[in-house]
């Protein structure tokens, strides 16, 4: 499928989705949101894809936010639709059932930070900058930023970032628990690829259940999360992957998982 604002490549079982509007610092207009929705749906249904890497084209930005030029003319009703579309995209990424890694080399601002936070891993260059600067536009985050940042980094950091609008360094984002790993710019691809390869070789059904259990537990009381975990654990015993993993251990060889 041809996209106007995305570039899609595959490296083995790793699907790389790159937002490709570098002249606009990869800002998310409505068309790009729609295309991302389609690309992630395709990744979800393609059994050959085990991991997704989400990136931004060019050196300067992962994604510098929702498209301000497009939003400028929105009515409140259009803004509501835009926010809903953005939130649906972020939720679909979070609930993809396959690990998603955000590769962040530059600005991850506004909708860009929200997009990165919907991913399961954020690997950032030391040069990356994170922020929720919507308040400087008389706006608030609309793609889940007030909620996902709260869950990732707590109330203090969320209020600081959203109320001041001031971007923070990748190192500070790491200290706040927002970023998974910070690396030198020249080590970014190597680090992302190594993590993606490790995740691609992991048992995919177990990966899906871990993602589901963590998301379920994050939003509910611990008893509900524990009950979900027990069901998911028990279900693992019906898979060939579980037989393969335990047999390979006992035979002192490396397991090969097929996701069945």
**Closest to 102 in 3D by CA, of 127, 125, 120:** 120
Q: Which of 35, 59, 94, 114 is catalytic?
A: 114
Per-residue x/- track, 115-154, ligand COA (CB under 6 A): ------------------xx--x-x---------------
Q: Which residue has the tokens 């909620």?
A: 147
Which letter does DSSP use for residue 127 in this model? T
The residue from 65, 86, 145, 204 that contacts ligand COA (CB under 6 A) is 65
Considering the complex, state which of residue 45 and residue 73 has its C-beta at the smaller distance from ligand COA. Answer: 73
DSSP secondary structure string, 153-196? HHHHHHHHHHHH---EEHHHHHHTTS-SEEE-GGGHHHHHHHHH
In whole angstroms, the minimum distance from the beta carbon of 101 to ligand COA comes to 22
The residue from 25, 149, 178, 205 that contacts ligand COA (CB under 6 A) is 25
Q: Which residue has the tokens 């490549």?
A: 9
Q: Examine the residue annotation and report whether 160 is marked as an active-site residue of this protein.
A: no
In whole angstroms, the minimum distance from the beta carbon of 8 to ligand COA comes to 23
Q: Is 114 in the site for ligand COA (CB under 6 A)?
A: no
Q: Partners of 108 in the beta sheet?
A: 63, 130
Q: Taking each helix axis as running N to C, give the angle between helix 111-118 and helix 76-94, from 0 to 180 degrees, rounded to the nearest 10.
A: 30
Considering the complex, state which of residue 111 and residue 144 has its C-beta at the smaller distance from ligand COA. Answer: 111
Q: Is 142 left (phi over 0), alpha (psi -120 to 50) or beta?
A: alpha
As given in the structure block, the two tokens for residue 179 are 């970023």
Q: Is 110 in the site for ligand COA (CB under 6 A)?
A: yes
Angle at 9 between CA 128 and CA 91, to 5 degrees: 60
In whole angstroms, the minimum distance from the beta carbon of 144 to ligand COA comes to 13
Q: Examine the residue annotation and report whether 114 is marked as an active-site residue of this protein.
A: yes
Q: Is 19 in the site for ligand COA (CB under 6 A)?
A: no
The residue from 3, 20, 24, 101 that contacts ligand COA (CB under 6 A) is 24
Which residues lie closer than 8 Å to 131 by C-beta, 6 or more apart?
108, 109, 110, 113, 161, 165, 166, 167, 168
Q: Which of 35, 59, 94, 134 is catalytic?
A: 134
Q: How far apart are CA 117 and CA 132, in angstroms?
A: 12
Considering the complex, state which of residue 99 and residue 112 has its C-beta at the smaller distance from ligand COA. Answer: 112
The residue from 27, 49, 57, 203 that contacts ligand COA (CB under 6 A) is 27
Considering the complex, state which of residue 56 and residue 204 has its C-beta at the smaller distance from ligand COA. Answer: 56
The residue from 64, 89, 101, 199 that contacts ligand COA (CB under 6 A) is 64
Which residues lie near ligand COA (CB under 6 A)? 24-25, 27, 64-69, 107, 109-111, 133-134, 137, 139
Question: Catalytic residues, which ones?
Answer: 114, 134
């Amino acid at each position: 499928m041809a996209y106007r604002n995305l570039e899609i490549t595959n490296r083995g079982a790793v699907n790389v989705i790159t937002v490709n509007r570098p002249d606009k610092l990869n800002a998310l207009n409505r068309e790009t949101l729609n295309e991302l929705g389609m690309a992630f749906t395709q990744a979800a249904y393609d059994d050959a894809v085990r991991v997704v890497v989400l990136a931004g084209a060019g050196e300067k930005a992962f994604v510098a936010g929702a498209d301000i030029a497009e939003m400028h003319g929105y009515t409140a009703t259009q803004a509501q639709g835009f926010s809903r579309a953005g939130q649906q995209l972020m939720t679909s990424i979070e609930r993809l059932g396959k690990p998603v890694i955000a590769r962040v080399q530059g600005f991850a601002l506004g909708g860009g930070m929200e997009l990165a936070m919907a991913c399961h891993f954020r690997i950032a260059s030391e040069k990356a900058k994170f922020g929720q600067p919507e308040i400087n536009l008389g706006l608030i985050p609309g793609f889940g930023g007030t909620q996902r940042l709260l869950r990732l980094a707590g109330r203090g950091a969320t209020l600081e970032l959203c109320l001041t609008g001031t971007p923070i360094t990748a190192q500070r984002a790491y200290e706040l628990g927002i970023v998974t790993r910070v690396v030198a710019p020249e080590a970014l691809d190597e680090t992302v690829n190594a993590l993606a390869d490790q995740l691609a070789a992991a048992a995919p059904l177990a990966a899906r259940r871990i993602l589901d259990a963590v998301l379920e537990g994050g939003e509910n009381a611990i008893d509900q999360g524990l009950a979900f975990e027990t069901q998911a654990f028990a279900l693992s015993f019906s898979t060939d992957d579980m037989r393969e993993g335990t047999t390979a251990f006992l035979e002192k060889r490396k397991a090969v998982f097929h996701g069945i």
